[in-house]
Amino acid sequence: MDSIQELFLSLPVLMVISALIAYVMATRFNLYPVIIYVSKTKGLMDVPEERRVHTSQVPNLGGMGLFITFSLTLLLFVPFLNNTVEDLSNILSLLAATIILLFLGIKDDLVFMTAKKKLVIQLIAVSMVCILQNVRISNFHGLLGIGELPYIISVGFTIFVFVLVINAINLIDGIDGLASSIGILASLSFGIAFYMAENYLMTIMAAVLIGSLMGFLKYNLSSDRKIFMGDCGSLIVGFLLAYQGIGFLNINPELVFEYNSENSSILLLAILSYPLFDLLRVFIVRIAQKKSPFDADSNHIHHRLLRLGLNHKQATMFLVVSNLTLILITYFTINLPINMSLIVVVCFGCLLYLLPFLSVFEEFKGEEPEEITPGVSGRVVEVKEDGAIIIPINERILQKETIGQHRNYGSLNTEPERVAKNTFPQKNSEKFKYYANEEKVLLNPLDKTTHIDQNNLKTE
């Protein structure tokens, strides 16, 4: 009996069970369906704007579900851990900070807030764990010739890192699945390191966040019950990743032999490389264009991938695989001198994340949308096996992932309506209708006979 009890209380089993419970809580208790229903009933929706990549209103309070699943599951497993008073105090301060960020995000999702106000509230939340609980970066271990940091500089730099990561995650939350997938990859990386160091609390925290994000992904990638993470979710995920990252830096080197933990700061940069690189890149681009670095635009790497013809899932997969590749490269070169390892991360990171901007990919890029000429009421954007996708003239052409290489005009009815799938006609014959792909756009049927040619659509 004792052996069974020890098995269930072992760290690997607790990791798996905690992740599964968080996932089940998110997917089997109608948590997100209730949030979606209330959001639609009360009109608490994300409305398409010029720079958005969706064309319909979608609930954007998914962060509420994330917070509920993460906090309840974490509290459920606290009694099974050998916690000290300090650990319990850290958990309470952590949850208090996430609550502050949750309400900040909810307000920003529903009512626009200025960047200055959001920054002040973020600083308050971050200070609760940095100052009150002494969670901070204290040593650079020789990176750029810097060693032990004075207390004031240590606290200030730690707060800066928290705010940087929080907003980096917030900025990459622009397409379906990206922020949550990067969060899963980062938490898995941190969780493995915490497991090696036998840090029960941080290991369970990483596992619970993975389960919570996987549960959210089920709805974020859904076609009929879609929900966005929103600022209330991305701020929490960014905060928890920063918290884990600083805990990762503070792992005792004597407890870990699988990698050179003295160079853990380089590995941390690799784990969070995509959001940090994308943040730095868009800031440089905006400043070069003489704009405020805080002005929102569509210059992110994921926007570039959409313009190259990838859909949301493909773009997310490309960026996650790129991030994972950089983590593996860094891990296998971690024994290099720390500054040399930094050069390796920067060089390979630039290569991986700037790859979509190479001119060689221009030939795969679809044509840019043309101006709609007078008398034409819509645009064919993609031909599929059993129909085609059209965007009416009165809808913004925002769903970049649907824009393919087959572009021409079709004559459409003026009133938009959703049209069911129809059997694809034989080439160069028969009438057929257009249909919506995963409820992303409102479409109209053709009101004239349309002939299909492999590369063009012509209306008689």
Q: What is the largest CA-CA distance in the chain?
A: 80
8 Cβ neighbours under 8 A, 6+ residues apart = 14, 17
Please report the pLDDT score of residue 385 as a whole number. Answer: 46
Predicted pLDDT at 54: 55
Give the domain-ending residue among 244, 259, 274: 259
Residue 342 belongs to some domain of the structure: no
**278 touches 301 (CB < 8 A):** yes
In a domain, 307, yes or no: no
On whether residue 239 sits in a domain, the answer given is yes
What is the Cα–Cα distance from 28 to 459, expressed in whole angstroms? 49
Note the pLDDT tens digit of each residue in 364-382: 554 444 333 333 334 444 4
Residue 188, Cβ density class (10 Å: 0-12 exposed, 13-18 middle, ≥19 buried):
middle
Does residue 44 surpass a pLDDT of 90?
no
Among 259, 280, 298, which residue terminates a domain?
259
Residue at 304 is within a domain = no
Long-range residue pairs from 74-80, CB within 8 A, at least 24 positions apart, any chain: 74/18, 74/204, 74/205, 74/208, 76/21, 77/14, 77/18, 77/204, 77/208, 80/9, 80/14
* pLDDT number for residue 51: 54
Mean pLDDT of the chain: 77
Structure confidence by residue, pLDDT tens digits, 112-132: 788 889 999 999 999 999 988
How does pLDDT run across 333-373, given as a tens digit for each residue?
888 888 999 999 999 999 999 998 886 666 455 444 433 33
In a domain, 43, yes or no: yes
Quick check: 387 pLDDT over 90? no
Q: Of 213, 243, 259, which one is at a domain's C-terminal end?
A: 259
253 and 378 belong to one structural domain: no
Q: Mention every residue, 6+ apart, whose C-beta is less than 8 A from residue 148.
A: 138, 139
* Other C-beta atoms lying within 10 Å of the C-beta of residue 190: 28
Residue 91, pLDDT above cutoff 70: yes
- If you ran DSSP here, which 8-state letter would residue 295 be given? S
What are 229-261's pLDDT values in tens digits?
A: 989 999 999 999 999 999 999 887 777 766 766
What's the pLDDT band for 68 if we cut at 50, 70, 90? Answer: very high
| 104 contacts 122 by C-beta, under 8 angstroms | yes
Are 252 and 376 contained in the same domain? no
Cβ burial, residue 285 (10 Å; 0-12/13-18/19+): middle
Q: List the domain range (segments joined by +) for residue 102.
A: 2-259
**459 half-sphere exposure, CB direction, 13 A CA radius:** 17
Average pLDDT value for residue range 203-231: 92
- Computed over its alpha carbons, how large is the radius of gyration of the chain? 24
Q: Is residue 272 part of a domain?
A: no
| Residues 267-321 pLDDT 10s | 999 999 999 999 999 999 989 888 888 777 788 999 899 888 888 999 999 999 9
Please tell me the total count of domains within the chain: 2
Whether residues 110 and 240 fall in one domain: yes
CB atoms within 10 A of CB 281: 17
- Do 86 and 211 fall into the same domain? yes
Is residue 83 domain-resident?
A: yes
* Same domain, residue pair 106 and 232: yes
Q: What is the pLDDT of residue 315?
A: 93
Residue whose pair of structure tokens reads 């920063």 in the numeric block: 242
Q: How confident is the model at residue 389 (pLDDT cuts 50, 70, 90)?
A: very low
How many beta carbons lie within 10 A of that of residue 151, not counting itself? 10
Is the CB of residue 245 less than 8 Å from the CB of residue 193? no
Assigned domain for 284 exists: no
What are the tens digits of pLDDT across the range 148-204?
889 999 999 999 999 999 999 999 998 989 999 999 999 999 999 999 888 889 999
